[in-house]
Amino acid sequence: MKYLIYLIAIIILLGLNLGLFGSLQIQSQIPNLLFLLTLFFSLEKKDYDFFFVALVSGLFLDFYSACFFGGFTVSLLVVSLLAHLFVTEILVVDINWKTLSLALLTALVIFNLILWFYGLVIFKLGLNSQYSGIKIFISQFPINFLYNWVMLYPLYLFFTFLRNFLDRMSVRHRGVIR
Amino acid sequence: MRFIYTKAFAIFAACILGLAFLVFLQIRGWLDPIRIAFLEAPRPVVVLANDIALPVKTFFSTIYQLNNISRENSQLRAQVEQLEKELVDRNQQSLENEAFRAELGFVKNTTQPLVACTVLSENSFGQTNALVLNCGTHDGVDNGQAVVSQGYLVGKIIYAGPDSSTALLITDSNFSTDARISQTNATALVKGSFNSGLILDQVPQTSDLQKGWLVVTAGINAKIPKNILIGQVSDILSSGNDLFKRAAVLSPIDFDNLQFVFVVKQ
């Protein structure tokens, strides 16, 4: 049941991403809501649900993008794993907005680097006839980061709502509240 | 090394292996059913979100482009004004061209010495039916000379300045000239009739007069040569008891839109 709700949440966010923000582009850039959702899940220490979110989000992004299949999924999986390791193994203080912004910046850089590197490998292997140069990522990165940063708080509210909703369902399921 | 034995790494590795399998399926072209399912699943949300976003986008893009729209609007207004001006010029040229063509036909068929004049304005000096022409005594124009257009008499010069002159139109009530009925050679008088047309007067009762007959100048006045067309009889106005016969004469000339005329030098 939990994973079904995750799936519905991902579909809603993807719909908003494509339908709503597709019409509200800034310099041809739109925020990646699925990336932000995956990041919030990864920064939680509770469980490994972020892998499911990263995998499904990545698959959706792969199917909807014109890139070679797998690039977004690999990038999201690696970024989510690194983010999770960062909060569980390295970070000793609670996450605040400064560290969250820094985490977003780092995660976005790594995400784009892996995406570019994956495209390059696929191109070198002869599986794809083209790949996006790193200059494209660099030129688009500032606005892309700012747009994602603006959407960080709304996504945090959505993530909190989702978590609370699942917690309430879980409690009901165990029969604590009738 | 400790990390590779953790649950997180195990799940990660499983995901990567699963993804590698999907990539393999994708390369072989066996992933289409899954692809279609993934593409179709968010479609209702995408359509709904798009329907909501489109008016918002239109609103903000309109505000964003308002300045451009305003500037573009003023540019288009200027362009429209320019085009209207060009259109007026072109219409004017077209009318002039038509007038030239009509006059050209007359000039080719006449042997009289003519001075071509452009009509500068109408109603000069408070007179109701007069034309100001751009030719004067320097061009050989003199008082009393006949003014013709397309071969028809349209008036006579009543004032000749060095470079301009004034012609009284044939339709003015002060205008009169001797005339002749071409079919009978009977002499008569043609005069203007308070802007309503021309009157053929003083035709002897013994002379026959019928509708459609042509009226030309008689040549009694030395400055108006004979046989210049005036018009044709359109209506008999007098009865058998009158001293002279009277008739309305119709000229085909549009006296309100004269642009070019010729003064007949005698």
Greatest pairwise CA separation for chain B in angstroms: 142
Range of the domain at A126: 2-20+31-165
**pLDDT of the residue at B40:** 84
- Domain at B114-264: CATH architecture: Beta Barrel (2.40)
Tell me whether residue A148 is exposed, middle or buried, using C-beta atoms within 10 angstroms of its C-beta: 0 to 12, 13 to 18, 19 or more: buried
**pTM check: above 0.80:** no
Q: How far apart are CA A168 and CA A170, in angstroms?
A: 5
**pLDDT of the residue at A94:** 75
Q: Mind telling me how many Å the CA of A171 is from chain B's nearest CA? A: 25
**What are the sequence ranges of the domains in chain B?**
2-41, 114-264
Helix (H) or strand (E) holding B28: helix B7-28
Work out how many domains chain A is built from and give that number: 1
With contacts defined as CB-CB under 8 Å, which chain A residues touch B44? 15
**pLDDT of the residue at A150:** 92
With contacts defined as CB-CB under 8 Å, which chain A residues touch B7? 48
Q: Which of these ranges, A51-65, B20-34, B37-51, B121-135, has the smallest mean pLDDT?
A: B121-135
Find residues 47-86 of chain A whose CB sits inside 8 Å of chain B: 48, 51, 54-55, 58-60, 63-64, 69-70, 73-74, 77, 81, 84-85
Q: What is the pLDDT of residues B129-165, one digit of tens each?
A: 788 888 888 888 998 899 998 889 999 998 888 888 8
| pLDDT above 50 (res A178) | no
**Closest residue in chain B to residue A25, using alpha carbons only:** B57
| pLDDT above 80 (res B84) | yes
Q: Is residue A80 a part of any domain in this protein? A: yes
| Amino acid, res. B94 | S
Across the interface, which of A12, A58, A127 has its CB nearest the CB of B27?
A: A127
Spatial contact of B189 and B179, defined as CB atoms under 8 Å apart: yes
- Hey, is the C-beta of B69 within 8 angstroms of any chain A C-beta? no
| pLDDT above 50 (res A155) | yes
Check CB contact under 8 Å for B50 and A63: no
Q: What is the pLDDT of residues B163-185, one digit of tens each?
A: 888 888 888 878 889 998 888 88
Q: Is residue A156 a part of any domain in this protein? A: yes
Confidence of residue A175 (pLDDT cuts 50, 70, 90): low
Check CB contact under 8 Å for B38 and A59: yes
Check CB contact under 8 Å for B19 and A24: no
Across the interface, which of B26, B38, B49 has its CB nearest the CB of A15?
A: B49
Q: Is residue A174 a part of any domain in this protein? A: no
Q: How far apart are CA B91 and CA B85, in angstroms?
A: 10
Percent of chain B with pLDDT over 70: 94
| pLDDT above 70 (res B248) | yes
- In terms of DSSP bridges, do strands B165-169 and B130-133 run parallel, antiparallel, or are they unpaired? antiparallel
Q: Is residue A175 a part of any domain in this protein? A: no
**pLDDT of the residue at B39:** 83
Q: Is residue A177 a part of any domain in this protein? A: no
Q: Is residue A14 a part of any domain in this protein? A: yes
Q: How far apart are CA B142 and CA B36, in angstroms?
A: 97
**pLDDT of the residue at A176:** 56
